[in-house]
Amino acid sequence: MNDMSRPSEVAETTDVKMSAQNVDVYYGDNHAIKDVSVDIADRTVTAFIGPSGCGKSTFLRCLNRMNDTIDICRVEGSIQLDGEDIYDKRVDPVQLRAKVGMVFQKPNPFPKSIYDNVAYGPRIHGLTRNRAELDEVVEKALRRAALWGEVKDRLSAPGTGLSGGQQQRLCIARAVATAPEVLLMDEPCSALDPIATAQVEELIDELRTNFSVVIVTHSMQQAARVSQRTAFFHLGDLVEFGETGQIFTNPQDPRTESYITGRIG
Amino acid sequence: MTDAAIPMKRTSLLQPDARTKSRNAAEARFRAYGFVAVLVALLALAALLVSILGNGMSAFRQTALTIQVELPEATLDKSGIRDPEVMKKVTTIGYGKILTKAVDAAIADAGIKIEDLSGKEVAKFLSGEAAAQLRDRVLANPDLIGRTVEIEVLVNGRIDGYYKGRVSAESALLDSNVSPAQLKLADALKESGMLRTKFNMAFVTAPDASDQRPEAAGLGVAVLGSLYMMIIVLVLSLPIGVATAVYLEEFAPRNRMSDLIEVNISNLAAVPSIVFGILGLAAFINFAGLPQSAPIVGGLVLTLMTLPRIIIPARAALKAVPPSIRDAALGVGASKMQSVFHHVLPLAAPGILTGMIIGLAQALGETAPLLLIGMVAFVRDYPDLPLDGFFDPATALPVQIYNWTQRADPAFVERASGAIIVLLVFLVVMNGLAILLRRRFERRW
């Protein structure tokens, strides 16, 4: 976890994978997200930082329409994936979520075997034709999540029997097994110890070669370590969005500066 | 947080202060109350079991007489063609006479001499059911006529009661149904080995009998009726109840309508069961025209009664599944339905199953609604096999118990207690099954 392992803080591509324009989110009468516009670049790690309750998780959940499950939640504005509006009436959120995967704050493996956890996504989406192919997909996903070595001998053991860090990596494996284009991570390391955190961060950096990753984090050090671009949210506003290096070394907004130096939040 | 806020007082850890003492005393009192409560409950249970087993176990033993009976063709089949239809003309009275003769012969053969034993007393020594037993046997096998067969027949309930401690020589003096001379005869026959008390399988398999023949009364029809009703309740209420719970909990929009439904379900669970009986009478019998006393009507009424009692625990079980599991399923792109049926429902299954079994157990023990739809009737014919049997008259175990407790003959106290034992065994088996299923289910996860 030294700064030497820090990935380059310059975005390597400029292709826009997801684009949110003037997004407003309401929980009943509560205006949770106010006029936020963010472009998520392809094959890049984008970090959302900000104090608790600033709306970064809410915004993240808008990106794969997980907020649909909350009755009182209302989303306005446009969010596009590869130029297609994901809130279009014709879009089936189930299909969207296969393209935009999600890893949650608390490790939440299914109470099934490790194998079944990873194989669940490919199974329901019909990504494989036979058992051999499925085995291959599961192995690949577990290798990607740096978990293969630890679990290859006990794939039929229950996923809930793993340690916290292993469970979170299992959840990541489960998310990447469906071959999403964008991976959303909602504070994936908040329940993990420093060693597991380092493993997950390493993993995120690797995933960048294949996916766009959006990560919500409380830890500014983590944002600085893993992301190329950073967005700072405060009280539902997007205060500042730019190259990670610039946000942390030369913030433009006084609120950003106060937050990253620990005066607010 | 200045030091002045709380005055410091030096206390020893070895010396509990007054506050700690009173707290500990409160805890000790609470534990004592709990212990006493459990003790009282256990004593009550023990008293219940002792009383029921004490009264009821004897129902599983019955006294019967084994004698040689000569079956004369002259009285039983004058035509000599062995046609059961013709032979049916000889009623049980005719067979009764043959039996009495056989008993007389047996007494003479054994060399038993009892003073003031009248011929009528010998005739009444046997159960009224005995002649019917013999007649059934002969009609089933006409070739027996003309031969001498050995048959085991029930004796009078009072004689049976003599061996179960209900009747004594003193009480027989005051009893018009039994005389001391008959008891002496019983002792003598027992001595000779013809009279034996043995396990009474007929108690569970035989149909009910009239007030005068407690010794022949059995639970067969009631067991079948209860079994049929449980099948109907299970087949109807499990899918409907679980589907309702899943829909209301997972899919239904939260609005005034779903609130109304929720309140109504909760209220229905609290409606007295007899009200469901009235509903069943009005809806299924009077309106839909289904037969009275039929397990189908009983099953439908019990289904209505059981549904809310299944839906409520099923919803609670679904609610108890952590939302993170739903998120996880949706997050990998499962549809709502897939997330419910692949993940939420299996996790809730043990809880749903428990609610289901408790609901079924309640339905099994329910009496009041069945009284109203005519299942209290005196039924001696077994219902057919399902599905036709669902429409045949039958009774149910709890109704049979209720019925027997109404009867005058003290022998029915024993029968009713024995029936309670059978009902309890059913419940224990069902609960055991539930626990077994739960274990199996949980191990898979």
Are A110 and B330 inside 8 Å of each other by CB?
no
- Predicted confidence at residue A179, as pLDDT, reads 86
Collapsing DSSP to helix, strand or coil, B407 comes out as coil
Q: Is 70 exceeded by the pLDDT of residue A3?
A: no
pLDDT 10s digits, A102-151: 999 888 899 889 999 999 999 888 888 889 999 999 998 998 888 888 89
CB count, 10 Å around CB of A152?
A: 12
Q: Which of A86, A91, A94, A214 to mutate to test the interface with B (most CBs of B within 10 A)?
A: A94
DSSP code of residue A113:
B
Which residues have a Cβ under 8 Å from the Cβ of B331 and sit 6 or more positions away? A64, A66, A97, A101, A102, A103, A104, A175
- Rounded CA separation A97/A126 (Å): 15
Task: Tell me the torsion sign for CA atoms B107, B108, B112, B115.
Answer: positive
Of the candidates B329, B331, B338, the beta carbon closest to that of A101 is on B331
Least confident of A77-81, B189-193, B267-271: B189-193
Are A66 and B347 inside 8 Å of each other by CB?
no
Q: Is 80 exceeded by the pLDDT of residue A6?
A: no
Residue B214: C-alpha distances to residues B99, B173, B225, B347 (Å): 20, 21, 20, 50
**What tokens were used for B158?**
């009072």
Collapsing DSSP to helix, strand or coil, A209 comes out as coil
- Predicted confidence at residue A11, as pLDDT, reads 46
- Rounded CA separation A99/B137 (Å): 78
Which residues have a Cβ under 8 Å from the Cβ of B364 and sit 6 or more positions away? B226, B230, B397, B398, B423, B426, B427, B430
Are A108 and B332 inside 8 Å of each other by CB?
no
Least confident of A95-99, A152-156, B441-445: B441-445
Q: Does domain A9-112+181-260 have CATH number 3.40.50.300?
A: yes
- Rounded CA separation A9/B365 (Å): 73
CB count, 10 Å around CB of A70?
A: 11
Are B332 and A121 inside 8 Å of each other by CB?
yes
Provide, as residue numbers in chain B, all residues whose Cβ is less than 8 Å from the Cβ of A104: 324, 327-328, 331
Q: Give the gyration radius of chain A's Cα atoms.
A: 18
Q: Which residue of A has its CA nearest to B250?
A: A69
Q: Please, which pLDDT band fits residue B46 given cuts at 50, 70 and 90?
A: very high
CB count, 10 Å around CB of A63?
A: 22
User: Measured in Å, how far apart are chain A's first and last C-alpha atoms?
Assistant: 24
Q: Where are the beta strands (DSSP E) in B163-300?
A: 195-199
Are A64 and B331 inside 8 Å of each other by CB?
yes
Domain borders along chain A are 9-112+181-260
CA atoms within 13 A on the CB side of A240: 21
Are A175 and B324 inside 8 Å of each other by CB?
no
Provide, as residue numbers in chain B, all residues whose Cβ is less than 8 Å from the Cβ of A121: 332-333
Q: Is 60 exceeded by the pLDDT of residue A2?
A: no
- Predicted confidence at residue A264, as pLDDT, reads 64
Least confident of A13-17, A220-224, A241-245, B140-144: A13-17
Of the candidates B330, B342, B347, the beta carbon closest to that of A66 is on B330
Q: Indicate if ipTM > 0.95.
A: no
Interhelix angle for B220-246 vs B411-443, to 10°?
Answer: 30
Q: Please, which pLDDT band fits residue B3 given cuts at 50, 70 and 90?
A: low
Are B333 and A175 inside 8 Å of each other by CB?
no
Q: Please, which pLDDT band fits residue B243 given cuts at 50, 70 and 90?
A: very high
CB count, 10 Å around CB of B163?
A: 19
pLDDT 10s digits, A21-34: 899 999 888 888 88
Are A108 and B343 inside 8 Å of each other by CB?
no
B59 burial class (0-12, 13-18, 19+ CB within 10 angstroms)? Answer: buried
Provide, as residue numbers in chain B, all residues whose Cβ is less than 8 Å from the Cβ of A124: 332-334, 338, 342
How large is the average pLDDT for residues A3-31? 71
Q: Which of B332, B338, B442 to mutate to test the interface with A (most CBs of A within 10 A)?
A: B332
- Rounded CA separation A216/A47 (Å): 6
- Rounded CA separation B61/B204 (Å): 11
- Predicted confidence at residue B445, as pLDDT, reads 47
Q: How far apart are the CA of B328 and the nearest CA of chain A, in angstroms? A: 6
Q: Which residue of A has its CA nearest to B255?
A: A71
Are A71 and B253 inside 8 Å of each other by CB?
yes
Which residues of A touch chain B, with CB atoms under 8 Å apart?
Answer: 64, 66, 69, 71, 94-95, 97-98, 101-104, 106, 108-112, 120-121, 124-125, 158, 171, 174-175, 177-178
B440 burial class (0-12, 13-18, 19+ CB within 10 angstroms)? Answer: exposed
Are B332 and A178 inside 8 Å of each other by CB?
yes
CB-CB contact of B18 with B9 (8 Å)? no
Collapsing DSSP to helix, strand or coil, A103 comes out as strand
- Predicted confidence at residue B178, as pLDDT, reads 83
- Rounded CA separation B80/B73 (Å): 7
**What tokens were used for B219?**
């639970």
Q: Please, which pLDDT band fits residue B226 given cuts at 50, 70 and 90?
A: very high
User: What are the structural domains, with CATH classification, of chain B?
Assistant: 62-200 (no CATH), 220-444 (1.10.3720.10)
DSSP code of residue A123:
H
B316 burial class (0-12, 13-18, 19+ CB within 10 angstroms)? Answer: middle
Query: What is the torsion angle, in degrees rounded to the nearest 10, for the CA atoms of residue B95, residue B96, residue B100 and residue B103?
Result: 70
- Rounded CA separation B326/A101 (Å): 14
Q: Please, which pLDDT band fits residue B380 given cuts at 50, 70 and 90?
A: confident
Q: Is 70 exceeded by the pLDDT of residue A47?
A: yes
B362 burial class (0-12, 13-18, 19+ CB within 10 angstroms)? Answer: middle
- Predicted confidence at residue A1, as pLDDT, reads 40
Provide, as residue numbers in chain A, all residues whose Cβ is less than 8 Å from the Cβ of B332: 97-98, 101, 120-121, 124, 174-175, 177-178
- Rounded CA separation B389/B228 (Å): 8
Q: Which of A225, A206, A235 is nearest to A8 (CA)?
A: A225
Q: Is 70 exceeded by the pLDDT of residue B179?
A: yes
pLDDT 10s digits, A159-197: 888 888 889 889 989 998 988 889 999 988 887 788 888
How large is the average pLDDT for residues A214-238? 89
CB count, 10 Å around CB of B275?
A: 14
Q: Which amino acid belongs to residue B267?
A: N
- Predicted confidence at residue B4, as pLDDT, reads 56
Are B332 and A175 inside 8 Å of each other by CB?
yes
Q: Where are the beta strands (DSSP E) in chain A?
A: 16-27, 30-41, 45-49, 73-81, 84-85, 100-103, 182-186, 212-216, 229-234, 237-243
**What tokens were used for A241?**
């969005």
- Rounded CA separation B443/A224 (Å): 44
Q: Is 90 exceeded by the pLDDT of residue B235?
A: yes
CB-CB contact of A101 with A184 (8 Å)? yes
Mean pLDDT of all residues belonging to chain A? 86
Q: Is 90 exceeded by the pLDDT of residue B146?
A: no
pLDDT 10s digits, B70-109: 888 777 777 777 777 777 878 888 888 888 888 888 888 8
Query: Where do runs of H (alpha helix) occur along B193-255?
Result: 202-205, 220-246
Q: How far apart are the CA of B336 and the nearest CA of chain A, in angstroms? A: 8
